[in-house]
């Protein structure tokens, strides 16, 4: 039985922020997720990538205990995204989305991926997410989504939510999907759609989690320079599920998500995240405990 199977994009990003610019930087939801989750647990990846993607990154993930049997390396171009984070804005302006090999992404995971404790469906079309639910046996399934699917594939999205254990969603998306204002009212409404746990990511407001009658909220760890917010949400989900997989409870997982994503934004791409150890996360968790203590 696998610990975590994660499915998503592996990409090359052109990113511009008020702190600088990067061309062809390592990115993708699965990449950020896997670096984050592998701090805590074993991740088996499902993805597709071109030969234009730096193969040493795949090698590094293997060294970190990830299984890449489910990652196809093909002739062709990797998923490419370009965006600008303008000063004062939390969300990027997307300049370019080239799906490349990801266009045809409809994976049948290998035999060794048949069963997992945790299945993570990154930001994919709801219809692909639905198909994937029947291709892998899981104990817990978590997913992310985005404004594009909420606007254009709302019905399919609502159809899979009752199957979902943990929904990760950001504040704007939560408001869009629920029709409510504010992350907490949105969270409550989204629970009615079926997921057992809803986690709303809210930038410097950190994250709020509703789960049955339980509500938890952790402010973001104060980062003096947010160099590049790309991948913050995926790192959050990776930290959260990695922690859960390694035996921590949901509240601890929430705090780990906040801690790990705070490292991710301290540099472009995965520069900071790739060097983070369990000890670093523990130290930051301690600082978050001090931050909220009164």
C-beta of 124: minimal distance to its own copies in Å?
A: 27
Number of C-beta neighbours around residue 277 at 10 A: 9
Helix axes 29-37, 250-264, angle to 10 degrees: 120
- Least Å from the CB of residue 280 to its own copies: 17
Of 87 and 279, which has the nearer Cβ to its own copies?
87
- Percent of residues in the chain assigned helix, strand, coil, to nearest 5: 40, 30, 30
Q: Which is nearer to its own copies, 133 or 223 (CB)?
A: 223
Residues 207/240, Cβ–Cβ less than 8 Å = no
Residues 139-178 within binding reach of its own copies (CB under 8 A):
175
Q: In residues, how long is the chain?
A: 294
Q: How far is the CB of 88 from its own copies (least distance, A)?
A: 5
Binding pattern to its own copies, positions 197-236, x when CB under 8 A? -----xxxxx-x------xxxxxx-xxxxx----------
Nearest CA-CA partner of 289 in 239, 232, 221? 221
Task: Write the interaction track for its own copies spanning residues 29-68; mark x where CB under 8 A is met and - where it is not.
Answer: ----------------------------------------
User: Which C-beta is closer to its own copies: that of 283 or that of 292?
Assistant: 292
Tokens 């993607």 found at: 53
What number of H helices and E strands is found in the chain? 10, 13
**Residue 193 in contact with its own copies, rule: CB under 8 A:** no
Which residue is it, tokens 């048949």? 114
Site for its own copies, rule CB under 8 A: 18, 87-88, 175, 181-185, 188, 202-206, 208, 215-220, 222-226, 251-252, 254-255, 285, 289, 291-294
């Amino acid at each position: 039985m696998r610990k975590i199977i994660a499915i998503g994009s592996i990409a090359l990003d052109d990113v511009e922020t008020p702190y600088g610019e990067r061309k062809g930087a390592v990115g993708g939801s699965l990449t950020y997720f896997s670096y984050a989750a592998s701090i805590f647990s074993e991740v088996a990846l499902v993805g597709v990538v071109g030969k234009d993607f730096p193969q040493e990154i795949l090698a590094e993930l293997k060294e970190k205990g990830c299984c890449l049997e489910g990652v196809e390396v093909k002739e062709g171009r990797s998923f490419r995204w370009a965006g600008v984070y303008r000063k004062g804005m939390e969300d990027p302006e997307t300049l370019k989305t080239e799906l490349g090999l990801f266009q045809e992404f409809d994976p049948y995971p290998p035999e060794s991926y048949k069963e997992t404790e945790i299945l993570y469906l990154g930001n994919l079309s709801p219809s692909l997410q639905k198909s994937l639910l029947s291709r892998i046996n899981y104990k817990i399934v978590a997913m992310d989504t985005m404004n594009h699917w909420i606007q254009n594939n709302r019905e399919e999205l609502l159809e899979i939510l009752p199957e979902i254990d943990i929904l990760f969603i950001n504040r704007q998306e939560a408001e869009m999907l629920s029709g409510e204002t504010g992350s907490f009212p949105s969270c409550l409404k989204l629970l009615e759609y079926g997921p057992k746990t809803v986690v709303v990511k809210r930038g410097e407001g950190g994250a709020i989690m509703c789960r049955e009658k339980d509500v938890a909220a952790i402010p973001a760890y104060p980062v003096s320079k947010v160099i590049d917010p790309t991948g913050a949400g995926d790192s959050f989900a990776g930290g959260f599920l990695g922690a859960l997989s390694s035996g921590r409870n949901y509240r601890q997982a929430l705090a780990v998500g906040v801690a790990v994503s705070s490292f991710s934004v301290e540099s472009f791409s995965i520069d900071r995240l790739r060097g983070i150890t369990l000890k670093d996360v523990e130290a930051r968790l301690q600082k978050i405990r001090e931050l909220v203590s009164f």
